[in-house]
């Protein structure tokens, strides 16, 4: 049952990254490329009917984490307390930036909320990439100092950074050069994803420019991915051991590179949805490749005193996990029905939606 709920959790997180990822990317495009009111409206129209529903996947993932892996929930929510609070505030500012902008027709008022929407989207993309970097790198479980555990084996707490800015320090921070690298990959990949969504859902004058942006950023993304694979050996001496032991797992890196190489053809696509499809494949493949590489670990320990947190030592009781399957079956049917209706109602181009007008 632990494996079933792990797959459920990772699938929900992957859906969240793909769906809310294009929202974050649209916000980054809004910040840097939307120069006219028409461009800004096209971007907000493209995500207006979807963004709040997309964020529900994050809440639902947190619910599954609490239910199925309570020890991991307790450990991560205390250890990552500072960045989680920052993410919460960024989500709030991003939402009110979208909702309050159209309340008053005033240039300064609109500029403030435009910046709130764009900057919070940028920082959220960065922080979620950094979060993935922390999971790959691991944390100092138990707060080991000089070979002595100062807390319970599953407890840790991280400052935002340490004085060395190194992922190999005994006392780690949330942000170091390795996690920041993954954060930058997150920003670049979600910018591409958001641009593809805007092209897919609008007839904006920006679209031809955004295709060029995607093509150029894809070179940056490919270079960053290659660098991250090379430096991974510093963090994990045998980063590909799971792929060697279980060759079927190579399907996840294959999906990743199909996505990234497909994006090089974005300027020649006649169907606008293809760009979004390939960026979705990259995000799905990248996330699943990362978690597959550390499986069954869910949070590695950087010390030798306390064991890694795995899906087996952080899971709830077998009886509870079994009963939860019935409720999950009901919930997934309701969610699937909602999403089908939502995307059917708002299919096609979104230029005339008029989101945020008051």
Give the model's pLDDT for residue 354. 67
Which of 7-16, 172-181, 229-238, 297-306 has the lowest average pLDDT?
229-238
Q: pTM for this structure?
A: 0.91
Write the burial class of residue 328 (CB in 10 Å: 0-12 exposed, 13-18 middle, 19+ buried). Answer: middle
Question: What gap in Å lies between CA 186 and CA 21, rounded to an integer?
Answer: 9
**Which residue carries 């499809």 as its tokens?**
277
Per-residue pLDDT reduced to its tens digit, 10-61: 999 999 999 999 999 999 999 998 888 888 888 888 888 888 888 888 888 9
| pLDDT tens figures, 64-74 | 999 999 999 99
Highest mean pLDDT among 54-58, 181-185, 268-272: 181-185
Residue ranges of the domains in the chain?
2-345
What would the mean pLDDT of 214-227 be, rounded to a whole number? 94
**Nearest to residue 205, comparing CAs of 26, 34, 23?**
34
Give 317-327 pLDDT, tens digit per residue: 888 888 888 88
User: Residue 267: its pLDDT value, please?
Assistant: 82
> 47: closest CA among 355, 290, 279, 312?
355
How many CB atoms are closer than 10 A to CB 213?
Answer: 17
Is there a contact between 204 and 351 (Cβ–Cβ < 8 Å)?
A: yes
Q: Radius of gyration of the chain from Cα atoms?
A: 21
Q: CA triplet 108, 112, 115: central angle to 5 degrees?
A: 135
């Amino acid at each position: 049952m632990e494996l079933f709920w792990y797959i459920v959790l990772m699938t929900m997180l992957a859906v969240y990254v793909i769906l809310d990822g294009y929202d974050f990317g649209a916000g980054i495009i809004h910040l840097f490329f939307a120069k006219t009111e028409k461009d800004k409206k096209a971007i907000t129209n493209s995500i207006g009917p979807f963004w709040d529903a997309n964020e529900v996947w994050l809440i639902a993932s947190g619910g599954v984490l609490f239910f199925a892996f309570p020890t991991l929930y307790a450990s991560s929510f205390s250890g990552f307390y500072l960045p989680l609070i920052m993410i919460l505030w960024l989500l709030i500012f991003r939402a009110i930036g979208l909702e309050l902008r159209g309340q008053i027709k005033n240039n300064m008022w609109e500029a403030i909320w435009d910046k709130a929407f764009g900057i919070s989207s940028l920082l959220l993309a960065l922080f979620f990439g950094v979060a993935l970097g922390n999971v790959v790198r691991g944390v100092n479980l138990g707060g080991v100092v000089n070979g002595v555990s100062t807390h319970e084996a599953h407890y840790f707490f991280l400052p935002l950074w340490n004085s060395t800015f190194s992922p190999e320090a005994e006392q780690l921070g949330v942000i170091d050069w390795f996690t920041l690298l993954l954060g930058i990959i997150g920003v670049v990949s979600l910018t591409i994803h958001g641009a593809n969504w805007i092209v897919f859902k609008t007839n904006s004058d920006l679209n031809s420019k955004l295709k060029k942006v995607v093509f150029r950023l894809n070179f940056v993304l490919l270079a960053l991915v290659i660098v991250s694979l090379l430096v991974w050996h510093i963090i994990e001496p045998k980063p590909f051991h799971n792929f060697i032991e279980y060759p079927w797992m190579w399907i996840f890196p294959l999906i990743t590179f199909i996505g990234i190489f497909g994006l090089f053809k974005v300027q020649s696509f006649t169907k606008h949805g293809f760009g979004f499809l390939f960026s979705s494949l990259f995000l799905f493949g990248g996330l699943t490749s990362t978690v597959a590489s550390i499986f069954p670990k869910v949070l590695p320990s950087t010390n030798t005193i306390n064991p890694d947190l795995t899906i087996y030592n952080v899971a709830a009781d077998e009886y509870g996990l079994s009963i939860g399957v019935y409720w999950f079956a009901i919930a997934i049917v309701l969610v699937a029905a909602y999403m089908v209706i939502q995307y059917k109602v708002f299919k096609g181009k979104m230029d005339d939606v008029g989101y945020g007008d008051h």
